[in-house]
Amino acid sequence: MDFKRIQWIFLLIFVAIDVFLGLQWYQGIQFDTVDTVGSTSVLKEMQGDDISFKRPSDKVGEGFYIAGQDGPEFVAHTTALRGVSTTYNSDTRMLNVQLSDKKRFKLNFDHPQRTLDHFIRLPQNVINGNEYVYSEELSRMTRHQVVYVQVVPAGKVYDSSGELHFNIDDGYVSGYTQTYISQPKILREKTPTISEEKALTWLYQYNQIPNNTTILWTKLAYTKLLDVNNTTVYVPTWFVGLRTNNNEEVHVKRINAFTGTIIKDTPQKVNIVNELQEKEVFK
């Protein structure tokens, strides 16, 4: 009889131990899957700060350093354009194109690319128009503009030096501004970039993402890193579009996808007087 009671006590004690060990083990397993550089714990911390986002991918991407000229060379082709008046601003390196009244057309604002995709392809409408594609993210940032971005051999450029901005007046396309990167060239072999997950968590750790924010989109695209003499060097960059919950405005944060450093608004300008440049001059 006593032995039976002891057995019962043992049974209860061991059930308790099992539950405890089971929980320990389960947490260990959970931790194991979390383990990758602790990003997941940072993501949890972000959720705790009321930052909402879709689960980011931890896949690494790939990209190049790209060099190109964003100078006025492409403007020489304005003669091919029909029914427009153009002005070129050499400071901003921007071509401003006004459509004649006859040429203006109505735009469905929900799906502007349906009409504009056809429009840009014709050489009498846009210079090198077939090198641009519609960007939903950038178009949503301003109300009266539709943005197309330039495609270089390795991806899209999200930079003011390779974009088409269509101006909309009363639902009609009245004209556009164009910037163009000519002769994009690959400078170095394909190199891995940081993952979307790293980009997000790092931005957060650099205090670039305020509390109570919604992350609307993330995108890996090229941005201007520096100007060397007359050439511009572009680098793969993670763009993160975010909106604080008490404000309608969308902000874009950028992080260099090779080095993981925050990209400031103005790119570095470097002037190197050396044989590189001389060679280019004499060529």
Which of the stretches 70-78, 108-116, 173-181, 255-263 binds another protein when contact is defined by CB under 8 A? Answer: 255-263
Find all residues with CB under 8 Å of 234, minimum gap 6, and list them: 65, 66, 67, 68, 152, 157, 159, 181, 184, 222, 223, 224, 225
When binding is defined by CB under 8 A, the residue of 76, 265, 269, 273 that contacts another protein is: 273
Question: Which x/- pattern, by CB under 8 A, does the window 203-242 give for another protein?
Answer: --xx------------------xx-x--x-x-x-------
Residues of span 133-172 touching another protein by CB under 8 A: 153-154
Q: Is residue 173 at the binding interface for another protein, with CB under 8 A as the rule?
A: no
Integer Cα distance of 150 and 135 in angstroms: 10
Measured at the CA of 98, the angle between CA 222 and CA 158, to 5 degrees, comes to: 5
Q: Is residue 190 at the binding interface for another protein, with CB under 8 A as the rule?
A: yes
Q: Is residue 47 at the binding interface for another protein, with CB under 8 A as the rule?
A: no
Strand ranges in the chain using DSSP code E only, listed in sequence order: 51-52, 62-63, 66-69, 84-89, 94-99, 105-106, 132-134, 145-152, 155-156, 163-169, 172-178, 182-186, 191-192, 213-228, 231-244, 251-256, 268-270
Binding residues for another protein, rule: CB under 8 A, are 1, 4, 7-8, 10-11, 14-15, 17-18, 21-22, 24-25, 28-29, 31-32, 35, 37-38, 41-42, 62, 64-65, 67, 153-154, 185-192, 194, 198, 202, 205-206, 225-226, 228, 231, 233, 235, 258-260, 270, 272-276, 279-280, 283
